[in-house]
């Protein structure tokens, strides 16, 4: 009974973390999904949206056949589905090379719950009871949030993930020695984090991108952060639990010196898009860059979630890159944490917030004088011909990129020792 009580508490705690990113139902436009708006459209016209939502929840919990994870439980269980997430798992593997934990923390897709196979199974009384308890929790939580299609989608996805993981570990009757995360707010990540907490399994968080105050508080046993700015942001969000280490994803680069050089008169431009870009704005930006006599070429770097046909409206007028191009260029970027990686590689970044509907300066790069803001109206001129990226800028950038100095090596030594000791005790 005590474990059930703890599981319910962690379920609500996980919901709080998951829903913080969408402001508990006061959903930013960039989190709205068309499929959710269509699937739960009755919520928008109902005078009793919570009653309608309760019907959707009942149908989801008891009229749908639920899939379950299959396969053995690995000693090290990973969670993160994107290439950026997997990049962080390989980074952790690199950090721990040569330690007693090296073999255990060797990453493979088969150890990643995000890629686990799932199949439909028969219900028994235990599964029905768990679903009933979680349904009751969801009905209670409806009074905590603003009910709309997106918030209901978040609620159902989190509850489904939590249920699937509870069943998986109860059937397997075993648990991993350690769990590793590269995301701290998506449904599957938060659900697994809470279930690992329930099971007493230590959790390692490897931050994959920059954070804002919209993110949940940091509560992992070990957190490997990208920079001091991230640590400061998490401290503003709430009390930080566990040990934190600031370790750069790459060591110092000669490009730091190059970025402070004067910009050339003629440049190549690459537009780095978010997954929620505005087509008409992208087309306008492409046109202005192509009409600018000092722009030698213009291309697009698509977001990992975007598809090739998302750019058919450009009729092949610009090249669309899957990865960051290796040739020298300057970057036009809306709201994206790719800014820090580009600057580290010596690419001068100019932020063009009109390319999407995400809140302007979401990550605060312009506010903190790490990047320079430009407007669409400035693209017809040489907006890059300035002295913004200078020695003073390099000092400001160290808050975002610890590889500028070698202070981080002390954190690396402590991390390697801490992880090895933690795994020996588990």
Nearest partner of 328 among 400, 278, 389, 255, judged by Cα? 255
| CA distances to 14, 46, 193, 207 from 158, in Å | 8, 24, 12, 21
Residue numbers in the chain where pLDDT is lower than 50: none
Domain extent listing, the chain = 2-251+408-425, 255-400
pLDDT at 85: 96
Round to whole Å and give the CA distance between 85 and 113: 12
Alpha-helical (H) ranges within 96-148 are 125-141
* Beta strand 118-120 pairing with 67-69: antiparallel
pLDDT at 252: 66
Round to whole Å and give the CA distance between 300 and 282: 9
pLDDT tens digits, one per residue of 27-78: 988 888 889 999 999 999 999 999 999 999 999 999 887 788 988 999 999 9
State pTM to two decimals.
0.87
Round to whole Å and give the CA distance between 335 and 354: 10
Instruction: Provide the 3-class DSSP secondary structure of residue 183.
Output: coil
pLDDT at 173: 86
pLDDT tens digits, one per residue of 163-194: 999 999 998 889 999 999 999 999 999 999 99
Round to whole Å and give the CA distance between 274 and 306: 9
In this structure, the number of other CB atoms found within 10 A of the CB of residue 6 comes to 13
The first and second tokens of residue 155, run together, are 């609620």
- Yes or no: is domain 255-400 CATH 3.40.50.2000? yes
> Rounded to 5 degrees, what angle do the CA atoms 310, 314, 320 make?
65
Contacts of 120 (CB under 8 A, 6+ apart): 65, 66, 67, 68
Instruction: Provide the 3-class DSSP secondary structure of residue 337.
Output: coil
pLDDT at 420: 92
- Are 378 and 352 in contact, with CB atoms under 8 Å apart? no
Distance of CA 206 to the CA centre of its chain: 11
Please tell me what DSSP assigns to residue 112. B
In this structure, the number of other CB atoms found within 10 A of the CB of residue 62 comes to 13
Round to whole Å and give the CA distance between 43 and 32: 14
């Amino acid at each position: 009974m005590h474990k059930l009580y703890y599981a319910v508490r962690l379920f609500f705690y996980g919901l709080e973390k998951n829903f913080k990113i969408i402001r508990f139902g006061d959903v930013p436009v960039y989190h709205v999904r068309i499929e959710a708006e269509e699937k739960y459209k009755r919520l928008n016209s109902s005078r009793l949206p919570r009653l309608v939502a309760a019907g959707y929840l009942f149908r989801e919990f008891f009229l749908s056949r639920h899939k379950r994870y299959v396969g053995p439980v690995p000693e090290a269980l990973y969670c993160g589905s994107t290439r950026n997430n997997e990049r962080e798992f390989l980074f952790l593997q690199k950090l721990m090379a040569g330690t007693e934990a090296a073999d255990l923390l060797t990453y493979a897709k088969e150890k990643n719950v995000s890629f686990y196979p799932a199949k439909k199974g028969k219900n028994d009384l235990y599964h029905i009871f768990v679903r009933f308890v979680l349904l009751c929790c969801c009905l209670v939580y409806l009074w905590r949030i603003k009910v709309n299609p997106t918030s209901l989608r978040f609620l159902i996805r989190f509850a489904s993930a939590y249920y699937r993981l509870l069943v998986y570990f109860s059937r397997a009757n075993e648990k991993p020695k350690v769990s590793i995360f590269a995301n701290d707010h998506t449904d599957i990540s938060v659900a697994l984090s809470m279930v690992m907490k329930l099971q007493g399994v230590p959790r390692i968080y490897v931050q994959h991108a920059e954070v804002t105050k919209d993110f949940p508080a940091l509560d992992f046993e070990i957190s490997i952060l990208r920079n001091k700015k991230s640590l400061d942001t998490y401290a503003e969000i709430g009390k930080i639990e566990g040990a934190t280490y600031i370790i750069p994803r790459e060591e110092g680069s000669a490009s730091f010196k190059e970025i402070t050089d004067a910009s050339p008169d003629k440049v190549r431009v690459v537009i780095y898009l978010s997954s929620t870009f505005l087509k008409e704005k992208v087309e306008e930006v492409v046109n202005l860059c192509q009409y600018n006599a000092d722009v030698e070429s213009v291309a697009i770097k698509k977001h990992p979630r975007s598809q090739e046909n998302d750019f058919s409206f450009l009729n092949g007028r610009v090249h669309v890159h899957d990865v960051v191009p290796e040739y020298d260029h300057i970057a036009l970027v809306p709201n994206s944490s790719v800014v820090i990686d580009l600057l580290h590689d010596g690419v001068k970044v100019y932020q063009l917030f009109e390319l999407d509907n995400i809140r302007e300066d979401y990550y605060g790069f312009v506010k903190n004088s790490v990047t320079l803001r430009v407007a669409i109206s400035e693209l017809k001129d040489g907006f890059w011909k300035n002295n913004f990226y200078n020695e003073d800028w390099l000092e400001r950038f160290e808050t975002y990129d610890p590889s500028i100095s070698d202070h981080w090596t002390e954190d690396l030594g402590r991390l390697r020792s801490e992880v090895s000791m933690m795994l020996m005790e588990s």
